[in-house]
A and B are shown apart, each in its own frame.
Chain A
Amino acid sequence: MQVEVFLERSAARFPDKTALVCEERRLNYRSIEEQSNRIANGLIRIGVERGDRVAVCLDNTVDAVLSIFAVLKAGAVLVLVNPTIKSEKLTYLLNDSGARILVANGSSVRNLQSCLINAPALQTIVVSGGNAGAQSSLHRVTTLDNLLADHSESVQPPPKRCIDVDIAALIYTSGTTGKPKGVILSHLNMVAAATSVTEYLRNTADDIILNVLPLSSSYGLYQVLTALKVGATVILERSFTYPHAALRRLMEERATGLAIVPTISALLLQLDLSEYRFPALRYLTNAGAALPPAHIPRLQKLFPHTQLFLMYGQTECKRVSYLPPDQLDFRPDSVGKAMPNVEAYIVGEDGRRLPPGEVGELVVRGSNVMRGYWNLPEETAKALRPGPATGERVLHTGDFFRMDQEGYLYFIGRRDDIIKSRGEKVSPTEVENVLYRLEGVSMAAVVGIPDPILGAAVKAFLTLKPGVTLTENDVLRHCATYLEDFMVPKVLEFRETMPRTAAGKIDKRELAVQKEQ
């Protein structure tokens, strides 16, 4: 089965049911299906072929949902891009993926103009939300509205071009080398993951899921995919920036499901929620990073009618495990057991399975495991290695865990130094590379430091070349020019020297624990 069939089947079953609520708009299944079919037919008409990459760089809007399904229906590969991306990184993603089409809103197209000329494979820009003066001398520019209007006859889905082993999406994730890696997901991978998730969350057509997470992230995307799979309603909020606006919506729409990351939990725990009641809210899920155990009883008190699911996963396989809510009181520090149709186990350095209690790398088996990293055969070979079944490859997660006697998993740490801030992965190398490009920087080191709201805050240490003066604002402005918002350091420390390891490298462990100089 292909991912877009989620929508097609639900539209056939519940044509008049509300599928999507976004700001003041309410769209039923028929409308989403027909509009995404029109866009898909429009994409094919402008030359999109099976397997072509189409980058979608949009906020949480109706157009984003329509575009996601239209790309899949056209048999193309969805490349999701965070709309806070900066030009240079977008150029990298467009060139790495070889995207032929970019869907973005008018103001991003204007802001990102400079990078688009450096992406030779890019042919067409599709603008969401009216043309708004977006122009390009090198690319064909059209609008989603045009694609919707031009082909009013084609509300039927285009003939299927893909089978389920074809690639459905590339989702970029931070890599240790500083360059983001495109995780290759087939339709089968995504259908398998969504099926397992909806099974343990017991999602049904009666669910109303409120999503505040960016659709450009795997966690946000699957809120929509799983909701539409079961014929539920999804309410899109742009973000959790205004918690009260989101909470009012949660209450008024009688939402039954809400996905959070620890930063949202930390914000919720700071608010006075006494004026709200959420009797309809069936579950809260946490992923992205581990929820601090201290949050758990407080969240349970704030949401007395709601089950809390702690989950663990990575983009490479979407999700690995969940802790059944009835286990929360007994093992609040566990991320649970493998989800349905997935097997997870711990291996030692030699690749052999370890007995309960021992710490090793977590390995994941299942139809949800990615096909590899785009254009990165070596990285792929490290992550995907031969598994127990003939011809099978299993995912070596790079995360260290132990498992107890009953099979519950406990996160210990990562093999690399990736920072989890706000539930997003931040590569210290990527931030350091940007810092080193600033004239006058002699040495740069980036670490994660504990932060009550962000989980980990990105902290940068800098030493400057002799005679150079740079202010904190100079450095942060430079970072904000090249890095997505969540990667810009929250804390900056100028130092005279850096601590060194015996091998002469900057000693980041020492930096992470040192008090300020």
Chain B
Amino acid sequence: MPSVEQEIRQFIIDNFLFGEVERNPSNDDSLLEQGIVDSTGVLELVAFLEKQFGIQIHGNELVPANLDSLNKLFDFVARKTAIST
């Protein structure tokens, strides 16, 4: 089974980079500054996280501190899934 980290990375590559692995961001790259995610992209990302990991994300959690790099996403999902189990 793929890890949470692999699943998130794959979603970003498939949906925002259209499979272009050369632009694969490093774990600390800002997804916003790299031009990978925009405002509608954030909504798609959040819908994916909720569905894939069975978590509920509240409006006030939609901030760069939770979502703007792969590492931040990994931490955020880890925190959320810890709460919901």
A interface residue numbers (CB < 8 A to B)? 59, 83-84, 107, 238-245, 263-264, 267, 270-273, 275, 453-454, 473-474, 476-477, 480, 485
A241 touches B63 (CB 8 A): no
Over the window 40-62 of chain B, the binary record of Cβ atoms lying under 8 Å from chain A Cβ atoms (1 yes, 0 no) is 11110000000000000011101
B62 touches A242 (CB 8 A): yes
Supplied contacts A244-B62, A476-B18, 18 more A-B pairs, CB within 8 Å:
A107-B33, A239-B39, A241-B32, A241-B41, A242-B68, A243-B39, A244-B60, A244-B63, A245-B63, A245-B64, A267-B43, A272-B58, A273-B59, A473-B18, A477-B17, A480-B17, A480-B18, A485-B35
Tell me which residues across on chain A come within 8 A of B63, comparing CB atoms.
242, 244-245
Name the CB-closest residue of B to A240.
B39
A271 touches B40 (CB 8 A): no
B18 touches A244 (CB 8 A): no
Tell me which residues across on chain B come within 8 A of A238, comparing CB atoms.
32
* In the complex, B77 has a CB within 8 A of chain A: no
| Of A84, A271, A275, A473, most B-chain CB atoms within 10 Å | A473
B40 touches A242 (CB 8 A): no
Tell me which residues across on chain B come within 8 A of A273, comparing CB atoms.
59
Q: How far is the CA of A220 from the CA of B83 in the complex (A)?
A: 41
Tell me which residues across on chain B come within 8 A of A477, comparing CB atoms.
17-20
Give the residues from 6 to 22 in chain B that come closer than 8 angstroms, CB to CB, to chain A.
Answer: 14, 17-20
A244 touches B59 (CB 8 A): yes
B39 touches A241 (CB 8 A): yes
Distance in angstroms from A87 CB to nearest chain B CB is: 13
- Can you sample 18 A-B contacts with CB below 8 Å? A238-B32, A240-B39, A241-B38, A241-B42, A242-B63, A242-B67, A243-B62, A244-B60, A245-B63, A245-B64, A273-B59, A453-B40, A453-B43, A473-B14, A473-B18, A477-B19, A480-B20, A485-B35
Q: How far is the CA of A454 from the CA of B43 in the complex (A)?
A: 13
Q: How far is the CA of A343 from the CA of B78 in the complex (A)?
A: 59
Tell me which residues across on chain B come within 8 A of A264, comparing CB atoms.
39
B interface residue numbers (CB < 8 A to A)? 14, 17-20, 32-33, 35, 37-43, 58-60, 62-64, 67-68
Name the CB-closest residue of B to A83.
B35
Name the CB-closest residue of B to A454.
B40
Chain B interface, DSSP helix/strand/loop, else mixed = loop
Name the CB-closest residue of A to B34.
A107
Tell me which residues across on chain A come within 8 A of B17, comparing CB atoms.
477, 480
Q: How far is the CA of A453 from the CA of B14 in the complex (A)?
A: 22
Q: How far is the CA of A473 from the CA of B19 in the complex (A)?
A: 6
Tell me which residues across on chain A come within 8 A of B38, comparing CB atoms.
239, 241, 485
A-B pairs, 4 with minimum CB distance: A477-B18, A476-B18, A473-B19, A473-B18
Distance in angstroms from B41 CB to nearest chain A CB is: 8
B35 touches A241 (CB 8 A): no
Tell me which residues across on chain A come within 8 A of B37, comparing CB atoms.
241
Distance in angstroms from A216 CB to nearest chain B CB is: 13
B60 touches A275 (CB 8 A): yes
Distance in angstroms from B40 CB to nearest chain A CB is: 6
| Of A107, A241, A264, A473, most B-chain CB atoms within 10 Å | A241
A271 touches B59 (CB 8 A): yes
Tell me which residues across on chain B come within 8 A of A107, comparing CB atoms.
33
Name the CB-closest residue of B to A267.
B39
Q: How far is the CA of A59 from the CA of B19 in the complex (A)?
A: 26
Name the CB-closest residue of B to A270.
B43
Q: How far is the CA of A244 from the CA of B60 in the complex (A)?
A: 6
Tell me which residues across on chain A come within 8 A of B62, comparing CB atoms.
242-244
Q: How far is the CA of A241 from the CA of B35 in the complex (A)?
A: 11
Q: How far is the CA of A114 from the CA of B63 in the complex (A)?
A: 35
Distance in angstroms from A268 CB to nearest chain B CB is: 11
Tell me which residues across on chain A come within 8 A of B64, comparing CB atoms.
242, 245
A84 touches B59 (CB 8 A): no
B42 touches A242 (CB 8 A): yes
Q: How far is the CA of A331 from the CA of B84 in the complex (A)?
A: 49
Distance in angstroms from B19 CB to nearest chain A CB is: 4
Tell me which residues across on chain A come within 8 A of B18, comparing CB atoms.
473, 476-477, 480
Name the CB-closest residue of A to B23.
A480
